[in-house]
Chains A and B, each alone.
Chain A
Amino acid sequence: MLDANDLECLRGTRRLFAGLSFALAPGECLHVHGANGSGKTSLLRILCGLSRPERGTVRWNAEPIDAAGDEYRAALAFCGHANALKEDLTPAENLLAAAALYGTPATEDSARAALDAFGVLHLEALPVRALSQGQKRRVALARLAVCARRLWILDEPLAALDARAAQTLAARLDSHLAQGGLAVLTSHQPIELRAPMRSLALS
């Protein structure tokens, strides 16, 4: 499980948040709310270990994430603002490259299945460059299906997605949580999940 204890984050001289604590158990999803610039992305980057908090610790299975190292990263899937897709590769090639990086070897077939789940299989032959913003987002999210991970950290996963794709993602999240997965996400749009969602407001 993931817990954060007394986190404080500074951007320059401005304090984005302080004294932030939560604990997330398997099967739970944390929805981080807040206005633009309230520190949602900063919080997610701290949870991933990409940046360090000014104060406080993030722990995975009761071990600080710095100490857990590769063990934590082997449980983590992060979907940031940027889609992390290579414009010159096809969607499937992108997924296979990501799977190789994550150390979860994927086959052509599992990549196609993941693309199919997000409704972008018909774009298979095109380079990502030719895809629309929403379609790129779907391919980026398909990574979650290729690389099985316990903890999903998603920054604005609904940005640029249409209603159908948002439903697909919600269904994926539901089954992920039902299997004992954890998720932390930010979103300005409401996400409807069957599982109860915890929410955290940044002011």
Chain B
Amino acid sequence: MNAPSSGAVFRGIVRRDLRLAARRRSEPLFTLGFFVVVASLFPLGLGPEPELLRRIAPGVLWVAALLASMLALGRMFAADYEDGTLEQIVLAPSPLVLSVGAKIVAHWLVSGLPLVLVSPLLALQYGLPADVIAHLALSLLVGTPVLSLIGAIAAALTIGVRGAGVLVALLTLPLYVPALVFGAGAVDAKLAGLSAAPNLALLGACLALALLFAPLATATAIRISLE
């Protein structure tokens, strides 16, 4: 029997997960709704002080995005584990790293990308200038894949664990710190009239590192969890 083409397996998993998300829209919408609500509570709670809002906007929006993307992690492998699909993925004749990569890509498309797309609208509430808004979206575009990649490791480690949600939060939030610092830092710098490039470059480095190691670590964690 010929070895299957890796690209076909990758596409097959992404397509299946996207179709599942389209059938069950509530879960991706929860993530997005959470982001919108949290980001909108701050202007309401702090009152109409344009200067204060502008100053806190990068940090607040980034933290809100981070918490929202963490909420979605719990279901990343749990559903596949419960119905036995994860066993089939492990037993498929293609590298597990690749299948895991496909799961992460699908997860980001469903729960990360919408955050990036809606962030400019939320930034308007904070009275940010247009070029800063563009940099916020850009930093989230580079940063949210890092969150999905790191989160995948924690999601894989907590497969089948009771109370996995809290454990995932405790495992991932400390690891999210570099992405948060560089991401919010890039927007801050732009707001202060400086170049955002150094922070964005460091965020890009985080992404490169995560791309290299996270799928491997996740694949190993899945093997251990299934044993």
Closest to B87 in A: A80
Question: Would you call A52 and B227 a contact (CB within 8 A)?
Answer: yes
Given A87-B83, A103-B4, A103-B8, A50-B90 contact (CB < 8 Å): yes
Q: Give CA–CA (A78, B84) in the complex, Å.
A: 11
Question: Would you call A100 and B9 a contact (CB within 8 A)?
Answer: yes
> How large, as a class, is the contact surface on chain A?
20 to 34
**Inside 8 A of A73's CB, which chain B residues have their CB?**
91-93
Say how far A142's CB is from chain B's closest CB, in angstroms.
14
**Inside 8 A of A48's CB, which chain B residues have their CB?**
91
Which of B80-96 touch A at CB < 8 Å?
82-85, 87-95
Question: Would you call B8 and A82 a contact (CB within 8 A)?
Answer: no
Question: Would you call B19 and A89 a contact (CB within 8 A)?
Answer: yes
Question: Would you call A82 and B84 a contact (CB within 8 A)?
Answer: yes
**Inside 8 A of B99's CB, which chain A residues have their CB?**
101
Question: Would you call A103 and B23 a contact (CB within 8 A)?
Answer: no
Question: Would you call B94 and A103 a contact (CB within 8 A)?
Answer: yes
Q: Is residue A105 contacting chain B, with contact meaning CB distance below 8 A?
A: yes
Tell which of A81, A86, A104 has the most Cβ of chain B within 10 Å: A86
Q: Is residue A98 contacting chain B, with contact meaning CB distance below 8 A?
A: yes
Q: Is residue B32 contacting chain A, with contact meaning CB distance below 8 A?
A: no
Interface 0/1 of A70-87, CB less than 8 Å to B: 110111101011111111
Given A52-B227, A74-B1, A89-B92 contact (CB < 8 Å): no
Interface 0/1 of B1-34, CB less than 8 Å to A: 1111100110111011001100110000000000
Q: Is residue B175 contacting chain A, with contact meaning CB distance below 8 A?
A: no
Mostly helix, strand, loop or mixed at chain B's interface? helix
Say how far B71's CB is from chain A's closest CB, in angstroms.
20
**Inside 8 A of A71's CB, which chain B residues have their CB?**
93
Say how far B89's CB is from chain A's closest CB, in angstroms.
7
B19, B20, B82, B92: the one within 8 Å of A103 (CB): B92
Closest to B95 in A: A70
B16, B83, B95: the one within 8 Å of A100 (CB): B16
A74, A84, A148: the one within 8 Å of B84 (CB): A84
Say how far A79's CB is from chain B's closest CB, in angstroms.
9
Say how far A180's CB is from chain B's closest CB, in angstroms.
13
Question: Would you call A50 and B227 a contact (CB within 8 A)?
Answer: yes
Q: Give CA–CA (A108, B132) in the complex, Å.
A: 49
Question: Would you call A100 and B23 a contact (CB within 8 A)?
Answer: no
**Inside 8 A of B212's CB, which chain A residues have their CB?**
none
Q: Is residue A102 contacting chain B, with contact meaning CB distance below 8 A?
A: yes
Say how far B100's CB is from chain A's closest CB, in angstroms.
13
Interface set of A (CB-CB < 8 Å, partner B): 48-52, 70-71, 73-76, 78, 80-89, 93, 97-98, 100-105, 127, 148
**Residue contacts A-B, CB under 8 angstroms, 20 given:** A50-B226, A52-B227, A70-B94, A70-B95, A73-B92, A73-B93, A74-B93, A76-B91, A78-B88, A80-B87, A82-B87, A83-B84, A87-B83, A88-B20, A89-B23, A101-B13, A103-B3, A103-B9, A103-B93, A127-B23
Interface set of B (CB-CB < 8 Å, partner A): 1-5, 8-9, 11-13, 15-16, 19-20, 23-24, 82-85, 87-95, 99, 226-227
Given contacts A82-B82, A84-B84, 13 further A-B contacts (CB under 8 A): A49-B91, A50-B90, A70-B95, A71-B93, A74-B1, A78-B87, A81-B84, A83-B83, A86-B85, A100-B9, A100-B15, A101-B99, A104-B4
The 10 closest A-B pairs by CB, nearest first: A103-B4, A82-B84, A100-B12, A74-B93, A84-B84, A88-B23, A73-B93, A97-B16, A70-B93, A51-B227
